[in-house]
């Protein structure tokens, strides 16, 4: 039932080529980010333009048709996108997660098909989250056998990036109570994507409801994830690193706005001895601290990315040991990135007076966006897990949140 794959002829991608090609797109995104959020205007054209440059092929091996590159280079790219518009970066999260799985797991189910879709510039969305009650993590979406396929019914929430995506993935329970994964095209009959995400921040991430009503699913669109046993039981650490990279991008964006505002928009307070804001010692101190926070966040996430690079290619006990250590480094990076972004976003308002609070400037979005991402996974848990590892050697939980 999947649409036929039509190969796309493109010039062999490179990390440098992709970064160069998307630079003007990121400039456009950054220039319009505040205005788009005020008017709830999704940047569909810009996201499509990024996808057409095959951004998710960064980190995928050249022999697989990718651009090559390390996890660090992927993370640096994510940070750059988040610096331009953190909502766009968040909306692309599942696409990069899919690409990371393809890059890191040679035995990944349906790997060849997924790789072809990535090479075509397709984008992915997906979630296991539901708002239908029951215990945390319970799955009420159902897959019922019908003929030689299945019928899918249910409702998912926090389906980040769904409005931009070509493919939607999730999980559902079959008649035997087994939880299976599925991936279907978003334009399949019965797939309804709603723009109803109502968080205080990250408003344009298309993270609302995906309603699945009698969706026909073929057997080759189903994956039994419980049969996949990676040597590293923390394969989703990259997903957590992604959130930290978005936080680091927000801190960098706050710095960009602080510099621009101090240079062109702010005035010294009446009792300042400085003639311009850039000469005011307290403005300089504030911008310097914002810069330090942004630098700390960036350094932490890139160091964590290097830790994940070190896990690839390992097997057996070595993979488990390296995976646990990398998961802890990622958790620590998450703590630093969240707190750096929140502090940088707050300090931005100390660069000027009342003009800094103008809605037209949209400076408040940095704090709201950072706060919204931080609520994905409490940083107190990340810090506690890291502390337990250092004190006793206790491994992190394998629930995908570390």
Residues with Cβ within 8 Å of residue 16, at least 6 apart in sequence: none
- In CATH terms, the fold of domain 15-122 is Butyryl-Coa Dehydrogenase, subunit A; domain 1 (1.10.540)
202 C-beta neighbours (distance < 10 Å), count: 27
Residue pLDDT, tens place only, 244-297? 999 999 999 999 999 999 999 888 877 888 889 999 999 999 999 999 999 999
Backbone Cα Rg of the chain: 22
The torsion angles phi and psi of 170, rounded to 5 degrees, stand at -170, -165
* Topology of domain 237-392, CATH: Butyryl-CoA Dehydrogenase, subunit A; domain 3 (1.20.140)
The 10s digit of each residue's pLDDT in 348-402 is: 999 998 999 999 999 999 999 999 999 988 999 999 999 999 999 999 999 989 9
Q: What is the pLDDT of residues 207-256, one digit of tens each?
A: 999 999 999 999 999 999 877 788 899 999 999 999 999 999 999 999 99
Q: What separation in angstroms does the CA of 241 have from each of 237, 244, 318?
A: 6, 5, 21
Under DSSP, the state recorded for 187 is T
Q: Name the pTM for this structure.
A: 0.95
Among 286, 271, 268, 276, which Cα is nearest to 349's?
Answer: 286
Instruction: Spell out the domain ranges in the chain.
Output: 15-122, 142-227, 237-392
Using DSSP, state whether 331 is helix, strand or coil. Answer: helix
Alpha-carbon distance 15 to 118, whole Å? 15
Q: Measure the CA–CA gap between 207 and 401, rounded to whole angstroms.
A: 18
pLDDT in tens, 164-200: 999 999 999 999 999 999 999 999 999 999 999 999 9
* DSSP for 299-312, written as a single string: HHHHHHHHHHHTTT
For tokens 């650490």, the residue is 237
Which residue from 120, 50, 58, 115 is spatially nearest to 88, judged by alpha carbons?
50
Could you count the other beta carbons within 10 Å of the beta carbon of residue 166? 17
Q: What class, spelled out in words, does domain 142-227 have in CATH?
A: mainly beta
> 65, 67, 43, 39: which is closest to 55 by C-alpha?
67
User: CB under 8 Å to 146, separation ≥6 — which residues?
Assistant: none
Structure tokens at 77: 């790219």
């Amino acid at each position: 039932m999947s649409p036929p794959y039509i190969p796309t002829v493109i010039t062999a991608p490179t990390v440098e080529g992709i970064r160069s090609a998307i630079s003007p797109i990121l400039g456009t995104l950054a220039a319009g980010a505040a205005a788009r959020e005020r008017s709830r205007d999704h940047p569909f054209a810009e996201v499509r333009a990024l996808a057409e440059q095959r951004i998710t092929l960064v980190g995928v091996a050249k022999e697989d048709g990718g651009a090559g590159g390390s996890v660090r280079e992927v993370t640096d790219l994510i940070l750059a996108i988040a610096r331009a518009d953190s909502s766009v970066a968040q909306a692309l999260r599942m696409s990069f997660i899919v690409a990371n799985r393809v890059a890191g797991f040679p035995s990944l189910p349906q790997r060849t098909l997924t790789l072809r879709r990535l090479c075509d510039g397709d984008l992915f969305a997906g979630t296991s989250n539901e708002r239908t009650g029951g215990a945390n993590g319970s799955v009420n979406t159902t897959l019922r056998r019908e003929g030689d396929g299945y019928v899918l019914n249910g409702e998912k929430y926090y389906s980040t990036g769904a409005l931009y995506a070509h493919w939607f993935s999730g999980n559902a329970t079959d008649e035997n109570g087994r939880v299976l994964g599925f991936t279907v095209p978003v334009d399949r009959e019965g797939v309804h994507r709603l723009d109803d995400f109502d968080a205080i921040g990250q408003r344009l991430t298309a993270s609302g409801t995906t309603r699945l009503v009698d969706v026909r699913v073929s057997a080759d669109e189903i994956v039994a994830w419980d049969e996949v046993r990676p040597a590293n039981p923390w394969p989703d650490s990259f997903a957590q690193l992604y959130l930290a990279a978005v936080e680091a991008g927000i801190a960098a964006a706050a710095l960009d706005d602080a510099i621009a505002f101090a240079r062109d928009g702010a005035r010294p307070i009446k009792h300042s001895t400085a003639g311009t804001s850039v000469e005011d010692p307290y403005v300089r101190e504030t911008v310097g601290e914002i810069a330090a926070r942004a630098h700390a966040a960036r350094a932490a996430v890139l160091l964590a990315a290097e830790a994940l690079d070190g896990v690839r290619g390992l097997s057996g006990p070595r993979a488990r040991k390296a995976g646990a250590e990398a998961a802890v480094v990622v958790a620590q990076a998450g703590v630093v990135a969240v707190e750096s972004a929140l502090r940088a976003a707050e300090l931005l308002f100390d660069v000027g007076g009342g003009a800094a609070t103008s809605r037209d400037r949209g400076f408040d979005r940095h704090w709201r966006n950072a706060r919204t991402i931080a609520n994905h996974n409490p940083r107190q848990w990340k810090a506690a897990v890291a502390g337990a590892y250092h004190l006793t050697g206790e491994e992190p939980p394998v629930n995908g949140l570390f």
